[in-house]
Amino acid sequence: MPKNEIAASAFTAKRINISKGWYKFSRNPLSVLGLTVLIIIVLAAVLAPYITPYPEHAGPYTNFRESSLPPSLKHFFGTDTVGRDVFSRVIFGYRFSLLLAAVVITLSVPPGILLGLVAGYTRRKWLEVGIMRITDIFLAVPPLVLALAVTAMLSPKLLNQMMAISLMWWPWYCRLVYSVTSSLRHEYFVHDAELTGVGRGFILTRAILPNCVGPILTKITLDMGFVIILGASLSFIGLGVQPPKPGLGTMVADGAKRLPAEWWMAVFPALAIMLVILSFNLIGDGLRDMFAVEEI
């Protein structure tokens, strides 16, 4: 056998059995519900121009004759102060929220994993300590505060918001992967792999990384929710999606000024934010159960 295969066969790395995983996930009906809701939301967001009743309302549209109408069959969530359909805007608003979450996770997870692996596996103490202290510095302030500061300094718009949040987010993954890696560092299957003489990259990707998959996936799912909250919070302050584009946080902020009489302008976008976060959290819980080692 080539030595890579010997090394690979020595690993007790958890292999994910898809059907068993699905069984465990589906045992939790709430998680399945969350997944269903999320799929609907994603589909609706992607197809927004085709399925929303008034796609043109997602922009600088005004119709003052229909302004501030309460919810009705014609406008499920009512209309805003310039007569735009809140329902259509909420669906378009999901586009920005989901895009933000996807971009932040894509930008921050790979460097986080890489640095975590390096810090957890390296034999150079200075490198390990150095990386981990830098993550400490980033985590020394709540992410919202730092993201707020950076977005404000750059100038408020969605792109800057994405960059700012990504900049704040990688240390969480670095810590997670670091803790898994440094605890596996001295396991027998890692030593065995080292003894076969395969390269370090091989050990990291084939022996250690598979053990991080469960925690990382769970965290990503839960973080999608957090990032959406963060983005909505920044937008609420006015540092996100800029009008006339429909950001969910921005809509809540604008609607809040019309409380209590025209409550629908704030309440429905707020409920929409809750719904998407809730479904991510439910899925995350299901994933956590799925990757948990069961006791008999």
What is the contact surface with another protein in residues (CB under 8 A)? 20, 23-24, 30, 133-134, 136-138, 140-146, 148-150, 152-156, 225, 229, 232-233, 236-239, 249, 252-253, 256, 259-260, 263, 266-267, 270, 273-275, 277-278, 281-282, 294-296
Shortest Å distance, C-beta 179 to another protein: 14
Shortest Å distance, C-beta 206 to another protein: 26
CB closer to another protein out of 102 and 274: 274
Shortest Å distance, C-beta 17 to another protein: 10
Shortest Å distance, C-beta 198 to another protein: 31
Shortest Å distance, C-beta 252 to another protein: 7
**Cβ distance 7 to 202 under 8 Å?**
yes
CB closer to another protein out of 121 and 291: 291
User: 164 by DSSP, 3-state: which?
Assistant: helix
For residue 163, what are the contacts with CB-CB under 8 A and spacing of at least 6? 107, 150, 154
Q: Which residues of 218-232 are buried (b: 16+ CB within 10 A; e: fewer)?
A: bbbbbbbbbbbbbbb
In angstroms, the CA 50 to CA 205 distance is 43
CB closer to another protein out of 47 and 292: 292
The candidate with the shortest Cα–Cα distance to 4, out of 207, 210, 202, is 202
Shortest Å distance, C-beta 2 to another protein: 30
CB closer to another protein out of 201 and 260: 260
Tokens of 173: 């993954």
In angstroms, the CA 91 to CA 93 distance is 5
- What one-letter code names the amino acid at 206? R
Which residues lie across from 79 on neighbouring strands? Answer: 85
CB closer to another protein out of 173 and 236: 236
CB closer to another protein out of 216 and 270: 270
